Amino acid sequence: MGRRFLHLPPDPQSGFRFRYLQPRIRRHPLPDGSGGRIFGGPAGRSRRPNAQRPAGCGVRQEAFHVALTATDAPYSRWQCRIMYYWYKKVKAMEGSDMGGFTRILHSGDSDNLMDEIPTVVVQPLPRGLDRGYIVLNRPWAFVQWLENATIEEDYILMAEPDHVFVNPLPNLAAGGYPAAFPFFYIKPTSMRRSFESIIQWREAPCQMSTPSAQLEKIAPTWMNVSLKMKSDPETDKAFGWVLEMYAYAVASALHGVQHILRKDFMIQPPWDLEVGKSFIIHYTYGCDYNMKGELTYGKIGEWRFDKRSHLQGPPPRNISLPPPGVPESVVTLVKKVNEATANIPGWDNGR
């Protein structure tokens, strides 16, 4: 049975047409055009500890598989460990539709988390093809994984290392429509002029495609659109660090896939002040405050939590809580990080 997306970048709002669509095929050539497959060596090798199901145990129809793309850099590894800790804890809660878990490691070689986190190793893009934009490896990683994976669930949650699950996450997809979070910085209509050099704008909405096999159909197009947009200097400059996210929006429009936008999918401190009934904390932004509890964004605060402060290794256990007056969302994030690091074996040795 085909897979269906559960969480993707936001709705393309119908209307992007890319000129260089590659037909969906089962044997994908290398993105540099050299042909063949790149599953030699460790690529495609799967280690799935604790992933076995009891004999005769089926999968709920609404269950979704959590797919996490990552590298083997220390910065990525410590975030993955925290993310996986909270996946396991929240999965067990009533109301959760979480199924299995896979970390898609697109570094080409195994790392020291293979026995801790269910992992599949795939190859990165050929050297130089990402032009220093490592996120381009994400769609290519999904193409490789989907071609070789055996997934029991019919839905897939595309997750990232800096996600912390805070409430039981049900399957939010409905009626053949995948669910998505509306990132405030993704505004297709405002980028119309930038698209026109390589993308044909369409006023009419796309027709809906059959929900089955959405992921397999979108992923190769997502990869090709990302590479094409990155190779065009003007387009690359216009879209910057969110280019790959816009490329997904283009690819989904090409395949007629629209989305249910759920603002409660996640929060992003420090801008969102309360967790409420949201399901994920996405800690992509630094949180800087003075000792009065006032946000000093753009200026290093007297108190701060920023994942980028820990590029070479994990943050310490028992991070100090923020001062009084700091929003509940930031306090909750720090408490979640502290709980995970207190309970993950070997945290202090920087594994």
Strand-strand pairing, 16-18 and 199-201: antiparallel
The rounded distance, in Å, linking the Cα atoms of 95 and 216 is 28
Please name which of 188, 163, 230 lies closest in space to residue 11, comparing C-alpha atoms.
Answer: 188
Of 261, 287, 322, the domain-final residue: 261
- Shared-domain flag, residues 163 and 310: no
- Shared-domain flag, residues 281 and 170: no
Of 261, 291, 313, the domain-final residue: 261
Residue span of the structural domain in which 294 resides: 267-349
pLDDT for residue 292: 97
Of 261, 283, 306, the domain-final residue: 261
- Shared-domain flag, residues 142 and 239: yes
pLDDT for residue 195: 60
pLDDT for residue 34: 35
Q: Which two tokens stand for residue 54?
A: 């009891």
- Shared-domain flag, residues 79 and 192: yes
Instruction: Measure CA of the first residue to CA of the last residue in the chain; give whole Å.
Output: 37
- Shared-domain flag, residues 211 and 298: no
- Shared-domain flag, residues 188 and 230: yes
- Shared-domain flag, residues 279 and 143: no
Q: In terms of pTM, does the model score above 0.85? A: no
In this structure, what are the phi and psi dihedrals at residue 22, rounded to the nearest 5 degrees? -95, 130
Question: How many Å is the maximal CA-CA distance in the chain?
Answer: 59
| Counted domains in the chain | 2
Q: What is the pLDDT along the chain (351 residues), one digit of tens a residue?
A: 455 444 333 333 322 222 222 222 233 444 544 332 222 222 333 433 333 333 334 556 689 999 999 999 999 999 999 999 999 999 999 999 999 999 999 999 999 999 999 999 999 999 888 888 889 999 999 999 999 888 888 899 999 999 999 999 999 988 888 888 888 877 766 666 666 654 543 332 333 322 336 888 899 999 999 998 898 888 888 888 888 998 888 888 888 888 888 999 999 999 999 999 999 999 999 999 999 999 999 999 999 999 999 999 999 999 999 999 999 999 999 999 999 999 999 998 766
- Shared-domain flag, residues 100 and 118: yes
CB 48 within 8 A of CB 118: yes
- Shared-domain flag, residues 202 and 311: no
Q: How far is residue 333 from each of residues 88, 164, 344, measured CA to CA in Å?
A: 17, 8, 17
- Shared-domain flag, residues 109 and 217: yes
Q: What is the CATH number of the domain that holds 17?
A: 3.90.550
Q: Which two tokens stand for residue 250?
A: 């283009």
pLDDT for residue 253: 83
- Shared-domain flag, residues 245 and 301: no
- Shared-domain flag, residues 279 and 185: no
